[in-house]
Structure 1
């Protein structure tokens, strides 16, 4: 099943994610990156997204938006009601988006949307420092090799 992923968000979010994805995985077919710029309105953004959909005739589409409830999210939700096999997710990290891109043609659209969201949840962490006292007195060499 052919899947198209459209990544959109405020400012240069779309092309910023594109830059990161291309650095990590090169060019990927069936992925569009759309910016919602200062001069755009919800109407112009909707036109951009409709054009991206027209350029990639896919069986299913996943919209990845930067912020839950923002204009890009609202536009994508509105469009998702117009056709079957469209899902919208928001707030996902680069690692999860990359994983979704690499898996996009191997899953049903709802499963792919869940996978991207769950991957974001699984990989969002806070590093907690352990204060073991004076580092000069610390002879623990367990971190000598990094991870």
Structure 2
């Protein structure tokens, strides 16, 4: 099994997990590491290490971060640089996590999951536009 950790600023991690589990149900081997404004860099480092330790029974771990270069991301990449079982993805969104949960259930590899996470994240961003039909006027 591949372990997942979600981390980010404020209560991003626990908030997005709440939405994910509302849609997909309770998740196994998925941890969250929030970074509320009252926490220090040392606290997030300790909390992330604890989550990694909790998932040490997993074959590998993917850490999903809210954004590039923030403290949660920087903390995660430091762990990944010292542990080849860990890969880090940033720009996490709900659609990405839903897809990753399904892929994990299908026994996809860590590399497949990371690559698909990036693709799904990019494809999940867009702008809704109303298309007007020029032939459908009432005048």
Q: TM-score, normalised by structure 2?
A: 0.89
Q: 2:104 — aligned with what?
A: 104
Structure 2 Cα separation of the partners of residues 94 and 136 of structure 1: 39
CA-atom RMSD, angstroms? 1.8
Check whether the contact 1:86–1:109 (CA below 8 A) recurs between aligned residues: no
Moved over 3 A (4+): none
- The count of residues paired between Structure 1 and Structure 2 equals 136
Q: Which runs of 5+ in 2 are unaligned?
A: none
Q: 2:124 — aligned with what?
A: 123
1:11 and 2:13 are equivalent in the alignment: no
TM superposition shift of 1:108 = 2.1
Check whether the contact 2:55–2:61 (CA below 8 A) recurs between aligned residues: no
SS in 2 for 1:137: coil
Check whether the contact 1:62–1:113 (CA below 8 A) recurs between aligned residues: yes
Structure 1 Cα separation of the partners of residues 124 and 91 of structure 2: 13
Q: 2:79 — aligned with what?
A: 79
Q: Which runs of 5+ in 1 are unaligned?
A: 139-147
Structure 2 Cα separation of the partners of residues 42 and 111 of structure 1: 31
Q: Which has the larger radius of gyration?
A: 1
TM superposition shift of 1:132 = 4.8
Q: TM-score, normalised by structure 1?
A: 0.85
Q: 1:92 — aligned with what?
A: 92
